[in-house]
Chain A
Amino acid sequence: MSQMMRNAVRSVLASRGRFVLTGAAIMLSVAFLVATLVLADSMRGRAASDIAEAFAGTDAVMQGASLGEPGGGPGDPARSVRQSLDPDITERVASVDDVDGAASQWAGFAKLVVDGSSVGNGTASDVGRNWIADTALNPFRLTSGQPPTEVGEVVIDRSLADDAGVAPGDVVQVLTATGMHDATITGIATFASADAAPLQRTVLLPDAAVSAWLDTAAPTEVLVELAEDADRTEVLGRLSALSDAEVVDGPDYIRTMQDAATSPLQFLNAFLLAFAVVAVLIGATIIFNTFTLTVARRRRESGLLRAIGAERRQVLGGVVIEAAFIGTIATLAGLVCGVAGVDALRWVVGLTGISLLTGPPIVSPTSIAIAATVGIGATILSAWIPARRAAATPPIEALRESAAEPRVVSRARTVSGLVLAGAAIAGGAMAVVGSNPVWLMLAAVIFPALVLCGPAIVTATARWSSPAARRAAGVAGSIAAGNLAASPRRSASTALAFMLGTAMVTMFAIFASSLTSGVGTDVREGLQADLVVTSATPDFSTIDPTLADRIAERPDVDAVTALSKAEGIVEGKAEAIGGIDPTALPTMYDLDPIAGDLADLSSGGVAVVSDDPALLGGTLEIEFERSTIEAPIVAVVARSTGGFEAPLYFVDRATLDASVGRLLDAQVFVDLADGAGTDAEEDVSALVRDAPGSFLATREEHVASSGSEIAAFGNFIDGMLILASLIALLGVANTTALAINERSGEIGLLRAVGATRRELRRIVRLEVALLSFVAASIGIAVAVGFGWALIHVTGGEEIPSVVVPWSRLAVTLVVAVAAGVVAAAWPAFRVSRVPVLELAGRDR
């Protein structure tokens, strides 16, 4: 066997060029995969260790009873909603035997404002907490300055201080639930040793300022430190006996915090992993192609080996060892590149505007093991099929002169492909008609169907395009089309890598455009107000509640109404609940009521966003942190107020305020008087500018910006796609080079009878252009169909309709063909440089 091994290694070394490209494809896929895994690990690991360190001194935590589990959606923050604690809970905890220390932890919304503009962007949340004097319990450590003691003094985390360029002694402002407050920075703190708590920007307040600024009557949590010699279980038991509170053991608390800190990043990881899987798939296709060609080239060698007594297993083994050799080297290189490239990936992901956790990469053995297994495994598996074919060839067959692939496309293959395709289309239709995602599984067989039909498609394309190619490019065109048909299986598998790439581009493009449009549709159709004031972030209200009244006082302003939002538990799920003025809002934003009357909200009813008018008349229970309301459903509306985190339920503004306390406004709608000029708009604009956390948009601007979060996401998708395409292009370059090598005799003949180098290059380019055009068209067509069915069936309320970005797809097609031709440039150049005689005489 060591002989076979040496043989395999030498045969790889003997054809370095061919395997460098294959290796590069594997390397890129593995690098991408490992970078994704490492990035995920690093973010989770860093957050986890920071949290563990910060709460190391906390033995137990008292929390309000849990009301409901976090909401379901992929982007939803995983915070659970809890009942509030009693205001005197901390004293009661402190008086329990063997409790050494108890510190109230208040948390609420607080945003740092410096020179009129808020600090920090991205998806991290703005949190205000009290400064805990007990250093053992305080997760924050002061790095400079003094702790805050008087109302109006704050400490901020180091990352905020760096972003804002402020230092102790500077005067700033803090926007909280009770409005804008002037503050002096007394110190800078770190969260354990990190610049900031995971995905949070924290402003730390003195206890005295908590109730006035954060608008909370009772602490969110009580951090507890036990006496050193205490019997832990016993004390925890005593603590749990306290009424209206739940005791959480320190380690459990840390684990929950760790999970909560990283959960917003999980959907991102899933997304990245999906890309990595596709990259690996494309890589595997390329390996498959390379080995199919390699094995074909070595058919006679296999025959010889078999004739002199090599078993199938040994011939197979030779190829597999070769694959393992390439797979291993490429995977190792990929691992190194991946780990080194984590920062690059972080940068690409940063394009989304999603806040990431910083910190050094954590390379876990698991990530390495997964990536290595996938890299080497995919290589060996992709080499296995052609190797098996080679080993199964009877020796005498292999020894015969002609080793060319049969030109004939297997009828059985095509027929079974067509049957599968039919089933896939039927499945897609069933899924759409029955709104049943299960049928989509059947629709997904379109991909194996294409693999099976590939050769037939290529042959048919070559036949149909031949006359056109001849007209366009003369005899070079005919030869190019003929070359495709000459080895349909090889052409088809080259096309496959390309098809996968474009199909993925298309799927994501459709997904992004549909999501953007879905988020924007409600606003586009419902918004009637001239101006809209929006909050700093879509998931947190930041508009000073007095702003609406101040705007209403301006001349030329006809009407103003505000929307507030709070989180409540409905049927066990955390949902956004909107508070509206049921008489004013409909004049500026049409919620499209389909049953009942919105006006009845003022008598304590609730409106549900739904397509089902039959919901009217039911009763809905909404649990808030401090209270529960049970309200009759008095209206059903078809539309919400748009954007991410749009409320699914509306109650009267006063009801919401009464249930959850005073709220900041999420949005303010402003109607200008008829005939009011730009002066009026400018007037309102000045007011809004002076109110931090508020941003003014005209109707057109607001419609356009609804879903703009997703536009940023589009950049990210583009970045990923470039990577995937790069891998696919390597495949095209590789297969083209191999195919040309295989045809060297024929090319030599062409040169011998007088074809110029330019003409040769032209033939190669035409061939690849034709193939990429077909592959990209099919990829786009299939992805449009499948993506449409997928989104149509599973889109739900977030993506009500499918929007196909045709112009973008057209660009994709053009770019795909151009990229294919570019990829073919190198093999085309190489073949045109080889001396005529060498080509003609080269042994196949």
Chain B
Amino acid sequence: MSPNPDSTIVDRQSESALSADAGDAGDAGDAGDAAAMLVGAGKRYGSDESAVVALDDVTIAFPAGKFTAVMGPSGSGKSTMMHCAAGLDRLTSGRALIGDTDLSTLGDRELTMLRRERIGFVFQTFNLVATLTAEENICLPLTLSGRRPSDAVHDQVVSMLRLGDRLHHRPAELSGGQQQRVAVARALVARPQVVFADEPTGNLDTRSGQEILGFLRSAVDMHHQSIVMVTHDPGAAVWADHVVFVVDGRVHDVMDRPSADSVLDVMRGLGR
């Protein structure tokens, strides 16, 4: 049990689906409704005294079937938190779980398989392989494992994202918004356990950004897709079910059903 009060802040939100009780989190049976989870997670860069602590004993669960936003000022560790939770980066202490699977026990190959089959990614930039068409980019995670998407899911995703007439274009022939829609489609089409989105709207104009967020929202609402999104934009965070605030590598606060004002208030309180 962590003595760190910050990590237990979430307990205040008794009605929250976010379970942060390390004791419970450690119990695999109890993690049933968490899509992803960090338990006593620590990440430091470097080894000696000048080491930078990016995550400091974080315990948090991202609930299944919900849209969670992670916010924090630059350098707060929010991206590191997402990368570690998603198996892109390794923790130096503690555990990261996707469903029941403890990522720290996995080798590189198993981790790769897990990313391929159970996780979807949307990044801020450089989301697509330039030499592949939109269609091929969408199907890439499945192609990599030698599968084909089910036609139903594929058509559903494509029509939802309104990409029908763009499928055979290369990324260079698409607008930024369209590219990001392709990236979202790629993340969703394999029906992963959880989608991690790293500042997905950071490089888009407001309208395209709102569009993307709308798609993510409807994936949660219609298909119970679990989504974790890192953002610094309060306007993006309001699309989420919960917002997790990260400061100095610790979970500072958790907010349910956020509004633009309440998010801004917290952010201001964080000294932005």
Q: Which residues of A contact B (CB under 8 A)?
A: 1, 3, 6-7, 10-11, 14, 300-301, 304-312, 314, 394-396, 399
Q: How many residues of B contact A (CB 8 A)?
A: 29
Q: Which of A11, A308, A311, A394 has the most CB of B within 10 A?
A: A308
Q: With A3-B143, A307-B88, A309-B117 given, is the CB distance from A301 to B130 under 8 Å?
A: yes
Bound complex: CA A14 to CA B130 (Å): 9
CB of A308 within 8 A of CB of B186, answer: yes
CB of A309 within 8 A of CB of B129, answer: no
CB of A7 within 8 A of CB of B129, answer: yes
Q: With A310-B116, A312-B112 given, is the CB distance from A396 to B89 under 8 Å?
A: yes
Bound complex: CA A301 to CA B129 (Å): 6
A309 CB, nearest partner CB in chain B, Å? 2
CB of A304 within 8 A of CB of B127, answer: yes
Which of B89, B112, B136 makes the CB contact (< 8 A) with A3?
B136
Apart from A308-B186, A311-B112, what are 4 other A-B pairs with CB-CB below 8 Å?
A307-B121, A308-B141, A310-B144, A396-B88
CB of A309 within 8 A of CB of B145, answer: yes
Q: Does B272 contact A (CB under 8 A)?
A: no
Instruction: Return chain A residues, CB-CB under 8 Å to B121.
Output: 307-308
B37 CB, nearest partner CB in chain A, Å? 19
Q: Does B123 contact A (CB under 8 A)?
A: yes
CB of A7 within 8 A of CB of B131, answer: yes
Q: Which of B130, B146, B186 has the most CB of A within 10 A?
A: B130
Nearest-CB residue, chain B, relative to A310 = B144
Bound complex: CA A11 to CA B127 (Å): 17
Q: Does B153 contact A (CB under 8 A)?
A: no
Q: Which of A300, A301, A307, A394 has the most CB of B within 10 A?
A: A307
CB of B112 within 8 A of CB of A304, answer: no
Which of B83, B117, B119, B123 makes the CB contact (< 8 A) with A304?
B123
Which of A6, A10, A309, A396 makes the CB contact (< 8 A) with B144?
A309
CB of B83 within 8 A of CB of A396, answer: yes
Bound complex: CA A14 to CA B146 (Å): 25
Bound complex: CA A395 to CA B112 (Å): 10
A403 CB, nearest partner CB in chain B, Å? 11
Instruction: Return chain B residues, CB-CB under 8 Å to A399.
Output: 88, 123, 126
Residues of chain B in range 143-163 having any CB-CB distance to chain A below 8 Å: 143-146
Residues of chain B in range 190-228 having any CB-CB distance to chain A below 8 Å: none
Nearest-CB residue, chain B, relative to A8 = B131
Bound complex: CA A312 to CA B107 (Å): 12
Instruction: Return chain B residues, CB-CB under 8 Å to A7.
Output: 129, 131-132
Q: Which residues of B contact A (CB under 8 A)?
A: 83, 88-89, 108-109, 112-113, 115-117, 119-121, 123, 126-132, 136, 140-141, 143-146, 186
Instruction: Return chain B residues, CB-CB under 8 Å to A10.
Output: 131-132
Q: List 14 A-B contacts (CB under 8 A).
A: A3-B144, A7-B131, A14-B130, A301-B126, A304-B126, A304-B127, A305-B129, A307-B115, A307-B123, A308-B140, A309-B144, A310-B116, A312-B108, A312-B112
CB of B115 within 8 A of CB of A309, answer: yes
CB of A300 within 8 A of CB of B126, answer: yes
CB of B129 within 8 A of CB of A314, answer: no
Bound complex: CA A307 to CA B109 (Å): 12
Bound complex: CA A519 to CA B28 (Å): 87
Bound complex: CA A306 to CA B126 (Å): 13
Bound complex: CA A269 to CA B112 (Å): 51
Q: With A7-B132, A306-B112, A309-B112 given, is the CB distance from A314 to B144 under 8 Å?
A: yes
Q: With A310-B144, A395-B88 given, is the CB distance from A14 to B126 under 8 Å?
A: no
Nearest-CB residue, chain A, relative to B108 = A312
Q: With A10-B132, A301-B129, A314-B144 given, is the CB distance from A308 to B89 under 8 Å?
A: no
Nearest-CB residue, chain A, relative to B90 = A394
Which of A1, A300, A309, A395 makes the CB contact (< 8 A) with B141?
A309
Instruction: Return chain B residues, CB-CB under 8 Å to A304.
Output: 123, 126-129
Bound complex: CA A7 to CA B129 (Å): 9
B192 CB, nearest partner CB in chain A, Å? 9
Bound complex: CA A305 to CA B131 (Å): 13
Nearest-CB residue, chain B, relative to A313 = B109
Bound complex: CA A306 to CA B88 (Å): 9
Instruction: Return chain A residues, CB-CB under 8 Å to B131.
Output: 7, 10-11, 14
Bound complex: CA A186 to CA B248 (Å): 108
Instruction: Return chain B residues, CB-CB under 8 Å to A394.
Output: 88-89
CB of A308 within 8 A of CB of B116, answer: yes
B199 CB, nearest partner CB in chain A, Å? 12
Nearest-CB residue, chain A, relative to B119 = A309
Q: Which of B113, B120, B141 has the most CB of A within 10 A?
A: B141
B228 CB, nearest partner CB in chain A, Å? 14
